[in-house]
Amino acid sequence: MGSSRLFVFSGGDRIISIRRLLQVLLVLGVTSGCLAYAVAGMDWEKLRQSAAQADYRMLLPMSLILVAFYALKGWRWALLLHPVRNLTTWQVTPAMMTGFMANNLLPAHLGEFVRVLVLGQQFGLKKTPVLSTVVLERVFDILAVLLLLGTSLFFVEGMPDELRRACHVFGVVSLGGVAVLLSYMLFTQHFIALARRILGWIPFVPASLSERVLEMLETAAHGLASVRNPRLLAGISVSSLLQWMLNGLMVFCAARAFGVPLTYFDSLMVMGIIVFAILLPSPPGYFGVMQACYVAVLVPRFPQEDVVACSVFYQMSQFIPVTLVGFVFMNRIGLSLGRLQSAAAAGANPDATMPTDIGSVESEFVGS
């Protein structure tokens, strides 16, 4: 690992890469900008009144919906993993919830690598096929959310033209990316052969990097068999659609708690914008980004103070229980947040080898 890419503090006991520093600065900038946009011109006294007058009994149905949401996620992941290992929903749940907890607390979406590493260590699975199932999850998430978002565009009234156009553009770009991934999933060997040719045509790509990319594509292909099984594909598709319909219902319930008269299609619109916005560099827990999404979609149709309060309620109704449940599972597995962060950072670093043991990742990562 080249010294030109590293800052060393306190005699070398803390190493922070320039890339990580730039990521932190970018995330701070995005968060600050989103929060400034969300609260600009807001009456803080009205915000306090909105929070005081809310109907917090809506937490009960929202909690039940949240349980169903993650149960569907666990079932879908078990289906995606079926060609790799036949696991039950309950068996994959600890790793899954630990990963979502990590997403709430760690930067750079490291929770995705956490769940891969935890499941791999629990059941002795290779990391790349498991990681390919997480990528597949995102593909099905994007397809389901695009379908619901596109449907809501026909029914939402008073939406700013700029936001509507942005939804269309982002939808087209997302579909393009999904088309590439679907080509890889359905025509894997032809896709890899084409990738080999393209990498061979690019003069400045090192041969070692090309071989590594091709090796990853070939290894990940083992995790794609689920989309070629009609029964598994049907279950994966249905669960993807249902879970995001439930998430839209949570947005709807949160709005009702604060007296914001959203329709269900309004709620799907908000949910869809949030899902795509958090793909951008975001802070752990997506604070600021979520508030900006709410304000962009719902103000000035509804009072800004109610909208911001509603966004915080919706966010915390998921952040707190998911984080707590994730901590419980993490402790049951016998891990710590620091070890998970080190392991996930090593797995996400393109210059580091994928760790095989979370417990020894510190020495393996630094040694690489």
Per-residue pLDDT of the chain (368 residues; tens, 9 = 90+): 444 333 344 444 444 567 677 777 887 888 889 999 999 989 999 999 999 999 999 999 999 999 999 999 999 999 999 988 999 999 999 999 999 998 888 876 788 888 998 998 889 988 888 888 888 888 888 888 888 888 887 777 766 677 667 766 766 776 777 777 777 777 778 888 888 888 778 766 667 667 777 776 776 666 677 777 889 989 999 999 999 999 999 999 999 999 999 999 999 989 988 988 887 777 788 888 999 999 988 987 899 999 999 999 999 999 999 999 999 999 888 877 777 767 666 555 544 444 444 544 333 322 33
DSSP state at residue 239: H
* Residue range(s) defining the domain that contains residue 345: 3-367
Question: What pTM did the predictor assign?
Answer: 0.79
Q: In whole angstroms, what is the distance from residue 248 CA to residue 184 CA?
A: 30
Please give the backbone phi and psi of residue 126, each rounded to the nearest 5 degrees, phi first: -70, 145
Torsion of CA 59, 60, 63, 68, to 10 degrees: -140
Q: How many domains does the chain have?
A: 1
Q: What is the pLDDT of residue 12?
A: 41
The amino acid at 101:
M
Determine the number of helices (DSSP H) and then strands (DSSP E) in the chain: 15, 2
Q: In whole angstroms, what is the distance from residue 157 CA to residue 153 CA?
A: 8
E strand map for the chain: 6-9, 14-17
Q: What is the pLDDT of residue 2?
A: 43
- Nearest to residue 269, comparing CAs of 148, 139, 170? 148
Q: What is the pLDDT of residue 108?
A: 67
Please give the backbone phi and psi of residue 25, each rounded to the nearest 5 degrees, phi first: -65, -40
Secondary structure (DSSP) of 279-300: TSS--GGGTTHHHHHHHHHHTT
Q: 295 and 33 in contact (C-beta within 8 Å)?
A: no
Non-local CB neighbours of 60 within 8 Å, separated by 6+ positions: none
Pair of tokens at residue 190: 């032809």
Helix (H, G, I), strand (E, B) or coil at 155: coil
On the CB side of 314, how many CA atoms lie within 13 Å of its CA? Answer: 30
- Nearest to residue 287, comparing CAs of 340, 323, 331? 323
Q: 306 and 278 in contact (C-beta within 8 Å)?
A: no
Q: What is the pLDDT of residue 343?
A: 65
